[in-house]
Homo-oligomer: A and B are copies of this chain.
Amino acid sequence: MTAPTGRRERKKAATRQKIADTALRLFLARGYDTVGIREVAAEADVAVTTVFAHFASKEALVFEQDQDFEQRLARAVTDRAPHEPLIPALRREVLALVHHCTADGAAPVRQLIEGTPALREYEESMRLRHAESLAVAIAADPELPQSTTACRTIARFAIDAYTLACEAADPQAAVDEIFRMIEAAWEVACPPPHA
């Protein structure tokens, strides 16, 4: 179902990839702030306007892989097994995402992001957008008839868990600890019928 990719789409994808690779290479080698867009474009042998045709901003060049982050969280909620409780499903997905971003291969990029304020800000803005769409997914669940505020709250808490766990010394333990807190918060907002 990947469709017969024509030469056109292949070339486009290649250009995009070349830009992203070049940018990341230069950023890692010499630092994000000291490498300009004009230089990235020159090194990738494309026009500056082409860079912005493929990426919405300079920061977006660094977060090329994380496109599906948003969808994965929402789907963890909407596609979970019938009658499966919300929080454990959320916890599982957050843990997977944390593992993905603390993997050994991602270390240099993580370091680049952590050491560049502009990138940290950009990432946090992304996360907040993710929280909003997660809140919508939670609110849309017919099995959970609670307030909009509670949905948005839990969504933000989950994003907080992800962010904090990524920075923690022991990410796995951090996810466990924070989700114990989230579980308690959720039970207060939406008391289960079992008790």
CA distance A189 to B173 in the complex (A): 13
Interface magnitude class on chain A:
20 to 34
- Are B150 and A160 neighbours in the complex by a CB distance under 8 Å? no
Stoichiometry, as copies per complex, reads: 2
Known pairs A128-B124, A153-B160, A156-B160; A181 contacts B177 (CB<8 A):
no
Binary per-residue interface labels of chain A (153-167) against chain B in the complex, 1 for a CB within 8 Å, 0 otherwise: 100110011011000
- Are B185 and A182 neighbours in the complex by a CB distance under 8 Å? yes
With an 8 A cutoff between CB atoms, is A49 at the interface? no
CB distance from A63 to the nearest CB of B (A): 15
With an 8 A cutoff between CB atoms, is A17 at the interface? no
With an 8 A cutoff between CB atoms, is A71 at the interface? no
**Residue in B168, B180, B189 whose CB lies within 8 Å of A180:** B189
- Residues of B near A164 (CB, < 8 A) are 149, 152-153, 156
- Are A189 and B177 neighbours in the complex by a CB distance under 8 Å? yes
With an 8 A cutoff between CB atoms, is A79 at the interface? no
CB distance from A130 to the nearest CB of B (A): 13
Q: Is the interface of A mostly helix, strand, loop or mixed?
A: helix
Binary per-residue interface labels of chain A (119-163) against chain B in the complex, 1 for a CB within 8 Å, 0 otherwise: 001001100100000000000000000010110110011001101
With an 8 A cutoff between CB atoms, is A174 at the interface? yes
- Are A188 and B178 neighbours in the complex by a CB distance under 8 Å? no
In chain A, positions 41-69 with a C-beta closer than 8 Å to chain B are: none
With an 8 A cutoff between CB atoms, is A187 at the interface? yes
In chain A, positions 172-195 with a C-beta closer than 8 Å to chain B are: 173-174, 177-178, 180-189
- Are B160 and A174 neighbours in the complex by a CB distance under 8 Å? no
> Which 8 pairs, one residue from A and one from B, show the smallest C-beta to C-beta distance?
A181-B185, A184-B184, A184-B188, A156-B160, A185-B185, A149-B174, A121-B125, A153-B178
